[in-house]
Amino acid sequence: MTLRNLLVGIDAVPPSVNLGAEISSVACDSRKATPGSLFVAIRGEKTDGNRYVTDAVARGARVVLSEQIAPAGLPPAVAWIEVRDARKALATAAANFYGRPAETLKLAGVTGTNGKTTTVFLVDAILRAAGLASGMFGTIRYRTPKGAQAAANTTPESLDLQRFLADVRDAGGTHATLEVSSHALALDRVWGCPFGVAVFTNLTRDHLDFHKTMDAYFAAKRRFFEGTGGGAPAVGVVNTDDPHGKQLAGLAQRTLTYGLLNGADITTKKFALAFSGLEFTAQTPAGKIEIRSPLVGRINVYNILAAAGAGIGLGLSTEAIEQGIRSLECVPGRFARIDEGQPFLVVVDYAHTDDALRNLIQTARELVKTGRIITLFGCGGERDRTKRPLMGEAAGSMSDLVVLSNDNPRGEDPLRIINDAVVGLQKVNAKYVVEPERGRAIEIALEEAREGDIVLLAGKGHETYQVLKDRTIDFDDHEVARAALRQRGYAKSS
């Protein structure tokens, strides 16, 4: 592709630049620069791409896009283009390089603090039930017709996202469903992508290590509905039971509201909560939708209503919506039940904020009427420290016993993290046990359980690793719990 075509939509190009030059690839990691590539120097959270321009040039980059002025000593054969916003420039160049795939696909995006992953899985299941070829991108995995891979970020970097979307398009796909994180919105990973549907689930305290304030966190979410360089979404599907959702209603070209209160467009008047799943009738502008789902809990009523709204926004039939929702048996690491024949329930869940813990424990409490709730959780290191006592307070106020352990401590002192959470536990006079080693903590929680109880292993969900200060180790709550149950003599009959 010529540089001229690659730079469409990017201004501030010096007249001396040879716009007819052929560009072989686009890179934002100097290690991936190749002969004839364009390198975009972006500032990350931990490093600055401008520090690696020399490396990119040494590997063959012939054009550099940067927010800085050209450094002295730049080889004359290398073109330097100063841009106002390197991240928007990267997203635009990537879209151009891959032939603007987002413009040929119908995109459905889901943003919010909790429920994004489950809602995306539900929308993807609806698309499949409708017989449509699609891609799916979120916290757990990225999937295109070429296959699936573990997710590096909740939302791929713009360069990777455009490549993935091109893979979907080139394989004959027509749709893609994405989790759109607040980080992705603030860092312009979806810049230039026109969305057919934008879903808002809810907003509660999270990611303040990055956004600093709740106002800034919400502003990032709001950008999704105002448009990210591709115009406002065609349809906004908004939870108006959440006060922030009410502020988003009306920003998209068309808005569908959902919720259990306040006369939402998509709602239900009655539902039953049971271990077997959910059954209810959803009232929608497209008519009644009969819901049968193996998913459990009140929070999944909201997720299902959101997914139904997305299906309506995409113009899909109520039959496809019903079939798709019915077909999704589970979401990895979301209220995942571990059954080794024990007389109590064990659940692994990704809940890692105070609001998510409340939702998880509330779900358990509504399902277990007489047994105790034993909650194990930890807090992530090098993340928002202010939510740790709130998580302790949430777990302690709603559980009969809390086992406090580690999550992913990363480079932070694990005991300092635990002490921050203890503040919340003590505030509500919770009964708790501290065990920093997560494997032993899981054993303690299971040893405490009696018939009819429910043990909640919260925080890591689908993750199969634990990030420590100096290394990342294999660690899967599912497998550790299964092994511990077997050691106690339980064995699920085959």
pLDDT tens track for 144-192: 988 999 888 889 999 999 999 999 999 999 999 999 988 889 899 999 9
Q: What are phi and psi of 441, to 5 degrees?
A: -60, -40
How confident is residue 212, by pLDDT bands cut at 50, 70 and 90?
Answer: confident
Distance CA 318, CA 325 (A): 11
Least confident of 17-21, 81-85, 197-201, 237-241: 17-21
pTM across the whole model: 0.90
Average pLDDT in the chain: 93
CB contact at 8 A, 219 and 244 = no
SS3 of residue 267 by DSSP? strand
Distance CA 28, CA 45 (A): 14
| CATH number, domain 336-487 | 3.90.190.20
> Residue 203 to residues 34, 215, 319, 354: CA-CA distances in angstroms?
42, 11, 31, 12
pLDDT given for residue 211 in this prediction: 57
Q: Which of 446, 468, 459 is nearest to 353 (CA)?
A: 459
Asked if the model's pLDDT at residue 16 lies above 50, the reply is yes
CB contact at 8 A, 148 and 142 = yes
Q: Which CATH class is domain 101-327?
A: alpha beta
Of all residues in the chain, the percent with pLDDT exceeding 90 is 81
CB contact at 8 A, 356 and 201 = no
Which residue in the block uniquely carries the two structure tokens 């800085």? 68
Distance CA 332, CA 323 (A): 20
Query: pLDDT tens digits for 423-448?
Result: 999 999 999 999 999 999 999 999 99
Distance CA 93, CA 5 (A): 9
How confident is residue 494, by pLDDT bands cut at 50, 70 and 90?
Answer: very low
pLDDT given for residue 210 in this prediction: 62
| Domain residue ranges in the chain | 3-97, 101-327, 336-487
Q: Which of 94, 4, 102, 103 is nearest to 42 (CA)?
A: 94
Asked if the model's pLDDT at residue 216 lies above 70, the reply is yes
| CATH number, domain 3-97 | 3.40.1390.10
* 38: DSSP letter: E
Q: Which of 181-195, 214-228, 281-295, 362-376 is most confident?
A: 281-295
Q: Which of 230, 264, 237, 242 is nearest to 252 (CA)?
A: 237
